[in-house]
C-alpha cells in the first residue's frame, strides 16, 4: 500500500497552517467592522503592502490546502465500504478554496488604490465584503472537517481523539459563520471570534497532518 500522497498531504497541511497564520497576522489585527469608516480606511492605507502580500499568500495557501485535502481523501477512501464522505470532504475543500480566492481578490482590491481615491464609504463596503467572504468560508470548512471526522469515525481511519476534536472544530466553525448576521457583540463581523476558531481549526489540522505523516512513514517501513 503506497501512502506517499497521504504523507506529503500531511506536510502540505502543516505548511498550509504556517502560511495562513502569516497571512492572517501580517497586517496586524485590523479594527473590526464596528469602527468608523475613516478609522478602518486609515488602517487599510497604512498596511497596504502587507494586505497585498497577504492576498497573494492566499493563493499559496489554496495550493497547499488542495494537496492536503487530496491526501486526506486518498487515506479515507481506502477504507472498505466507502459511503461518499471522503468525496464530500474533498468537494467541500474545493468550494472553500474558491471562496478563499475570492476573498483574497477582494482584500487585494480593497487596498490597491488608497481610500482617498475610492472614498472611505467604498472602502468600508469592500472591507465588509472581504469579512463576509472570510466568514462564509467557515461553512464549507465545517463541512470538510465534519466529513473527515465522520468518515474517520465510521471506518476507524482516524484516532478517536482526532475524530472528537474534528467534531468540536466543525461545530465551532459553524458558530463562527453566524458572524455574517452581526454588526455588534461577540460575534461581530470581522471580530476576534473568527481568529479563535482559526486557532481550533489550525490545531486540528496540525494534528491530522502529523497523523497522516506517521501513517505514510509507517506504511513505507513495512
- Total domains in the chain come to 1
* Residue-range definition of the domain harbouring residue 206: 4-221
Q: How far apart are CA 215 and CA 126, in angstroms?
A: 43
pLDDT digits (tens, 9 = 90+) for 9-53: 999 999 999 999 998 888 777 777 777 878 888 888 888 889 899
Q: How far apart are CA 5 and CA 119, in angstroms?
A: 48
Helix (H) or strand (E) holding 146: helix 138-155
C-alpha cell at 81: 465500504
The pLDDT, as a whole number, for residue 2 is 61
User: What is the band of 114 on the pLDDT scale with cuts at 50, 70, 90?
Assistant: confident
pTM: 0.89
Four-residue CA torsion sign, 94, 96, 102, 105 = negative
Q: Is the pLDDT of residue 222 over 70?
A: no
The pLDDT, as a whole number, for residue 142 is 97
Q: Is the pLDDT of residue 171 over 80?
A: yes
Q: Is the pLDDT of residue 61 over 70?
A: yes
Amino acid at each position: 500500500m503506497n501512502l506517499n500522497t497521504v504523507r506529503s498531504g500531511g506536510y502540505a497541511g502543516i505548511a498550509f497552517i504556517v502560511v495562513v497564520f502569516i497571512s492572517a497576522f501580517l497586517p496586524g489585527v485590523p479594527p473590526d467592522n464596528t469602527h468608523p469608516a475613516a478609522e478602518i480606511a486609515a488602517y487599510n492605507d497604512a498596511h497596504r503592502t502587507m494586505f497585498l502580500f497577504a492576498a497573494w499568500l492566499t493563493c499559496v495557501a489554496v495550493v497547499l490546502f488542495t494537496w492536503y485535502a487530496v491526501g486526506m481523501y486518498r487515506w479515507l477512501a481506502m477504507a472498505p465500504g466507502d459511503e461518499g464522505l471522503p468525496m464530500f470532504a474533498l468537494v467541500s475543500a474545493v468550494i472553500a478554496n474558491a471562496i478563499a480566492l475570492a476573498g483574497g481578490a477582494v482584500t487585494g482590491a480593497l487596498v490597491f488604490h488608497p481610500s482617498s481615491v475610492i472614498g472611505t464609504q467604498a472602502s468600508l463596503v469592500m472591507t465588509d465584503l472581504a469579512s463576509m467572504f472570510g466568514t462564509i468560508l467557515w461553512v464549507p470548512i465545517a463541512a470538510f472537517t465534519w466529513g473527515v471526522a465522520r468518515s474517520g469515525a465510521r471506518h476507524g481511519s482516524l484516532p478517536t481523539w482526532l475524530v472528537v476534536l474534528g467534531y468540536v472544530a466543525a461545530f465551532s466553525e459553524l458558530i463562527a459563520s453566524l458572524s455574517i448576521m452581526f454588526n455588534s457583540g461577540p460575534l461581530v463581523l470581522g471580530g476576534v471570534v473568527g481568529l479563535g476558531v482559526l486557532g481550533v481549526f489550525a490545531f486540528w489540522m496540525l494534528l491530522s497532518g502529523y497523523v497522516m505523516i506517521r501513517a505514510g512513514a509507517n506504511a513505507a517501513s513495512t
